Amino acid sequence: MRFRGPPPPRILLNNVSCMRNAQTVLRDINVSVHDGAALVLTGANGSGKTTFLRMLAGFSRPSAGEILWNGHDIASPGVYQQYRLQLNWLSLKDAIKDKLTVLENVAWFEVLEGKSGRALPALELMGLGRLANEKPRMLSMGQRKRVQLARLLAIDRPIWLLDEPSVALDDEGVRLLEHIIAEHRKKGGIVFVATHLPIKMEDAMCLRLPPRFPRRKTFLDLIR
Ligand SMILES: Nc1ncnc2c1ncn2[C@@H]1O[C@H](COP(=O)(O)OP(=O)(O)OP(=O)(O)O)[C@@H](O)[C@H]1O
Ligand SMILES: [Mg+2]
């Protein structure tokens, strides 16, 4: 009889370390991530949350250890080509083009993906339907973040890498973010989130990255 164990993780970080600027930023990280899971990264400014996401995106390579996707090292050329098509990246750089309309700013991502028809419904879900044909200069900070979230929905890839996704969102925006994350996970999608602000996610794993340097005195210590 064949032994049936738990399924292997979709993503496995195996003793991963990462250096930036010749200094070790992340050290010996071990994480198993299955379909439908969420990992929340927290930690002080400079502790390595963005570095962690960049490494998962393949922008930075681990200095030690390996990141496996379906059991294969994402750094190997054949694997990376497939793996990167699984990723949806959201960061503070919003890549919104001023010359395109709000709708076109979502739709061109979708077209690159060979998909169509999702951009407008995604903008509507994000409460931006009314602004679809406007130029992005009409958008507030939070509305620009909502455009980025609409892109996540329009592109619809399984692994979301979200760097501070709730910054600039109002309460309703945060609820929408929580909603789309929950729906994505229900379909088996995976979410990595770096955040300083609380974002409600059921059964999320948490990784608090340690500060990199001994804490120095700040202005707050002086006024206490
Ligand atoms: N482009 C870069 N080149 C070299 N070192 C960098 C670069 N970006 C960040 N670092 C260094 O890597 C360390 C981790 O930075 P990172 O951006 O991952 O932190 P973070 O946890 O995302 O911080 P924050 O909460 O401010 O977003 C920092 O100490 C920083 O000095
Ligand atoms: Mg960061």
List the domains of the chain with CATH numbers: 11-210 (3.40.50.300)
pLDDT at 223 exceeding the cut of 90: no
> What is the residue with the minimal CA distance to atom 27 of ligand 1?
45
Residue 223 Cα to ligand 1 midpoint, Å, equals 27
Query: For residue 41, which ligand has an atom nearest its CA?
Result: 1
Q: What is the DSSP string of the chain?
A: -----PPPPSEEEEEEEEEETTEEEEEEEEEEE-TT-EEEEEESTTSSHHHHHHHHHTSS--SEEEEEETTEETTSHHHHHHHGGGEEEE-S-----TTS-HHHHHHHHHHHTT--S-HHHHHHHTT-GGGTTS-GGG--HHHHHHHHHHHHHHH--SEEEEESTTTT--HHHHHHHHHHHHHHHHTT-EEEEE-SS----TT-EEEEEPPSSPPPP-HHHHH-
- Residue 67 predicted with pLDDT over 80: yes
In this prediction, residue 212 carries a pLDDT of 77
Mean pLDDT of the chain: 94
